[in-house]
Amino acid sequence: MVVRFPSSPEGDASGATPGESSGAGESSPGGAVAGERLAPVTPLRRATPARGRGSDDHPSRGSAARPVVALPGSERPAGATAEGGWNNTWGAEAVPPAGSVRAGDEQPDEETIRQTRKTTGLAIRQLARRGMSRWELEQLLTKREIDAEVYGPELDRLEAMGVIDDASLATTLAFTQHSRKGLGRTAIEQELKRRHIDPVLIETALSDIGDDDELERATELAVKRMGQLSSYDDETARRRLHGFLSRKGYASDVVRQAMDTAFAGRRSRGGSGVRFQ
């Protein structure tokens, strides 16, 4: 296919090929009339150039541009040759030699590594069996003759990962001690303090137990306990019931309201309040 362009005043500088005619009134071999010139034909470059002979001799058959990744701070990408090619060797500064250590780094000795692994294993096994506070783990590791300088950073790492979580432990203990064992807030607080949980975390955990919840649980315990005191007179039953609820950790006002409800139920059932010997 031949594309015809109007003649340009630049003559041969307009891109005419050597085979075109420049005289007036002459016809070119391709059929162009006088005053017209043939457009130069630009060879198309292949998508994947062949690597055969002569591929580097002609610009139309040269290799396609290869992407080169530039490393930060370098004028020439690591591994790029002067001709723009690519080799398989990274720059000397790109990858440090294997086993190289920066100046000032201290490598732990074998004993420290062994104790650190022992710390991790003991902590994870104990936490899998039951909830333990960080203080309880520290006491256990001290008994196993592990230095505090070793287990301290390791416990910090486990705490940062969430494996050791005193806040979650306090919330769980408060719920189970109240719902299952029927303990009041005072007894739960003493239990959490015994396990050396932070007072702020204890206060947050106890805030989940409302006054109504505590009174309801204390009343359930008082009514159930009153059934076991049916053979006692009112005075003896009241004294025993009061001691039972106090040991459960309920405040005095909660104990009084729970006892009133329990004795009201006892009178409604026709209890004589007389103890038979």
**In this predicted model, what pLDDT tens digit does every residue of 146-178 receive, in sequence order?**
999 999 999 999 999 999 999 999 999 999 999
pLDDT for residue 198 is more than 50: yes
> 186: closest CA among 202, 171, 198?
202
The pLDDT, as a whole number, for residue 4 is: 56
pLDDT at 129 over 60: yes
The arithmetic mean of pLDDT across residues 224-231, rounded, is 90
pLDDT of residue 215: 95
Q: Using pLDDT thresholds of 50, 70 and 90, give the confidence band for residue 265.
A: confident
Q: How far apart are CA 70 and CA 78, in angstroms?
A: 7
Question: What is the residue extent of each domain of the chain?
Answer: 110-164, 165-209, 211-277
How much is the pLDDT for 109? 81
Lowest mean pLDDT among 8-22, 163-177, 182-196, 247-261: 8-22
Site of tokens 């592990």 = 146
**Could you give the CA distance from residue 22 to residue 18 in angstroms, rounded to a whole number?**
10
DSSP code for 11: G
As a whole number, mean pLDDT of residues 19-25 equals 44
pLDDT at residue 211 tops 80 = yes
What pLDDT is attached to residue 40? 60
Q: Which of 46, 26, 50 is nearest to 37 (CA)?
A: 26
Please enumerate in sequence order all residues whose Cβ is within 8 A of that of 268, keeping only pairs 6 or more positions apart, or say none.
none
Confidence of residue 39 (pLDDT cuts 50, 70, 90): low
pLDDT in tens, 61-78: 444 445 444 444 444 444
Mean of the per-residue pLDDT values of the chain: 74
* Cβ proximity of 86 and 79 under 8 Å: yes
Q: How confident is the model at residue 277 (pLDDT cuts 50, 70, 90)?
A: very low
Across 136-140, 191-195, 201-205, 266-270, least confident range: 266-270
Grade residue 15 by pLDDT with cuts at 50, 70 and 90: very low
With 60 as the cut, is the pLDDT of residue 30 above it?
Answer: no
Residue with the bigger pLDDT between 30 and 168: it is 168
CA angle 175, 251, 231 (to 5 degrees): 95
- Asked whether 191 and 173 are in contact (CB, 8 A), the reply is yes
CATH of 165-209 among 2.60.40, 1.10.1760, 2.40.50, 1.10.10: 1.10.10
For residue 122, give both structure tokens: 């003991």
User: Among 218, 207, 265, which Cα is nearest to 246's?
Assistant: 218
Mind listing the pLDDT tens digit for each residue in 99-113? 444 444 466 788 888
How many whole angstroms from its chain centre is CA 155?
A: 18
* pLDDT at site 20: 46
With a cut of 60, say whether residue 89 has pLDDT above it.
Answer: no
Average the pLDDT over 28-54 and give the result.
Answer: 51
User: Which pLDDT value is given to residue 22?
Assistant: 43
pTM given for the model:
0.57
Asked if 206 contacts 174 with a C-beta cutoff of 8 angstroms, the reply is yes
